[in-house]
Amino acid sequence: MRAKKIPKNKNNHSNNLPGRRSQQEQGWSREDFRYMKDAPPSVSITPVSYATRVAPLPEDRIQGRDTQNVDMERERMRIEGRGNLGRRVFKVVEEERKVALPFPRLIKPVKKEKKPLFDLNEAIKQVKANARNTFDETVEAHVKLGIDKSRSDLIVRGTLALPHGGKKVLRVAVFAEGADADEARAAGADIVGGVELINQITKAGKIDFDHCFTTPQFFPRIAKLGKILNRQGLMPDLKQGTVVSDVSKAVKNAKKNQIKFKMDKTAIVHVGLGKVSFTEESLRENASAFMNALLQAKPAGLKKTSKYAGYVTSFHICSTMGQGFPVSIQSLSKAVDHYSKGQLK
């Protein structure tokens, strides 16, 4: 039995040979092969062409057609214009970043002119001349101290009896018993008492005196009055000189218009020296007495050997509503020395 002959197709035979590609397959890329490997036989890839939107290079142009191809020239100009615009924007941003600050102009500091220093006598005359109010103003002294405010061991406080006091009558109370109470009454104390006086003030809740003193022996008993006396700043204290052994002397000094002074938080001492109606000599002696007491209250831990250096920085005198006048330390030193010599006589 003869086998049936199969007609030969040269084209089909050549296309089915392994390793041979058709003309269409030869133009495929690797991605096309990956896609067509799983695609059905009916699918074919048709090349697609797009219009060129990029200006051709000079060597690709054909001579004589530049004037005819107007659209291509417009496209070139548009692309170049967009590029120039981007470059201009980038250049402006770079210039803004590189802008350097102008070199600072040096301005000469304006020096404040220091007020001229006055002699103590001249300053008192100026204070009296500038006080023009209807009421009798108080002459005040303000002393700036060169002390570290943070150190509690350098706080300045004290008391003194001004040589020329005011016309105000001060009421003095003494908490004591026995012989000390008798001395206080003889010295002119207005209120004298012991436990009975403490109970009386505790019951009433108020006081009727301007100064109060006590003895070291009786001091622990007045602890009950701490709340009442502290409200008026009259609680006896060793540092303020209101806990005394010599009651008679303390009462007499208080009757002579004894005043207290203490350094505030800004290292300044404020004190009243009298009234504008006082004579210049009286005000000068009161200022000298105050400075003498301030020097005696100088803390022991202050590192300076001189009386004033590092301790008294400035001294101003003024009236209640008037202008302040700085006083020279030299004139204060002379006035204090003169006052101290008078006290020794």
Of the candidate ranges 40-44, 77-81, 114-118, 164-168, the one whose mean pLDDT is the lowest: 40-44
Decide which of 280 and 303 is more confident.
280
Instruction: Give pairs for 130-135: CB < 8 Å, separation 24+.
Output: 130/319, 130/322, 130/323, 131/276, 131/319, 131/320, 131/321, 131/322, 133/320, 133/321
Element holding 327 (H helix, E strand): strand 325-327
Of the candidate ranges 6-15, 81-90, 105-114, 214-223, the one whose mean pLDDT is the lowest: 6-15
Neighbours of 62 (CB within 10 A): 9
Residues 165 and 273: their CA atoms lie apart, in Å, by 9
Taking only the tens place, the pLDDT of each residue in 263-274 is: 888 889 999 888
- Asked if pLDDT for residue 250 goes beyond 70, the answer is yes
Q: Which tokens sit at 317?
A: 């005198």
- Asked if pLDDT for residue 182 goes beyond 80, the answer is yes
User: What is the CATH class of 169-256?
Assistant: alpha beta
Question: What is the CATH superfamily name and number for domain 115-167+257-345?
Answer: Ribosomal protein L1/L10, rRNA-binding domain (3.30.190.20)
| Residue range(s) in the chain whose domain bears CATH number 3.40.50.790 | 169-256
Residues 109 and 165: their CA atoms lie apart, in Å, by 47
Judge contact between 212 and 219, C-beta under 8 A.
no
Query: What is the average pLDDT score of the chain?
Result: 78
Residues 336 and 89: their CA atoms lie apart, in Å, by 80
Residues 214 and 225: their CA atoms lie apart, in Å, by 12
Nearest CA among 272, 265, 258 for reference residue 320: 272
β-partners of residue 261 are 158
- Asked if pLDDT for residue 10 goes beyond 50, the answer is no
- Asked if pLDDT for residue 16 goes beyond 60, the answer is no
Return the beta strands (E) in 60-219 as ranges: 138-145, 157-161, 172-175, 191-193, 211-214
What is residue 311's DSSP assignment?
Answer: T
Residues 144 and 267: their CA atoms lie apart, in Å, by 6
- Asked if pLDDT for residue 18 goes beyond 70, the answer is no
Looking at residues 70-79, what average pLDDT do you find?
79
Looking at residues 275-287, what average pLDDT do you find?
90
Give pLDDT, residue 74.
Answer: 79
β-partners of residue 97 are none
Of the candidate ranges 24-38, 79-93, 221-235, 243-257, the one whose mean pLDDT is the lowest: 24-38
Of the candidate ranges 152-156, 184-188, 257-261, 302-306, the one whose mean pLDDT is the lowest: 302-306
- Asked if pLDDT for residue 28 goes beyond 60, the answer is yes
What are the residues whose beta carbons fall under 8 Å from the beta carbon of 259, sequence distance 6 or more?
159, 160, 161, 162, 271, 272
Give this prediction's pTM: 0.55
Nearest CA among 306, 310, 308, 311 for reference residue 330: 308
Nearest CA among 307, 4, 281, 74 for reference residue 163: 281
Judge contact between 181 and 195, C-beta under 8 A.
no
| Residue range(s) in the chain whose domain bears CATH number 3.30.190.20 | 115-167+257-345
Looking at residues 241-254, what average pLDDT do you find?
84
Give pLDDT, residue 52.
Answer: 56
Of the candidate ranges 60-74, 134-148, 207-221, the one whose mean pLDDT is the lowest: 60-74
DSSP codes of every residue in 255-309? HTTEEEEEB-TTSEEEEEEEETTS-HHHHHHHHHHHHHHHHHT--TT---SSSST
Give pLDDT, residue 47.
Answer: 63
Q: Which position has the token pair 């609680």?
A: 235
Give pLDDT, residue 3.
Answer: 45
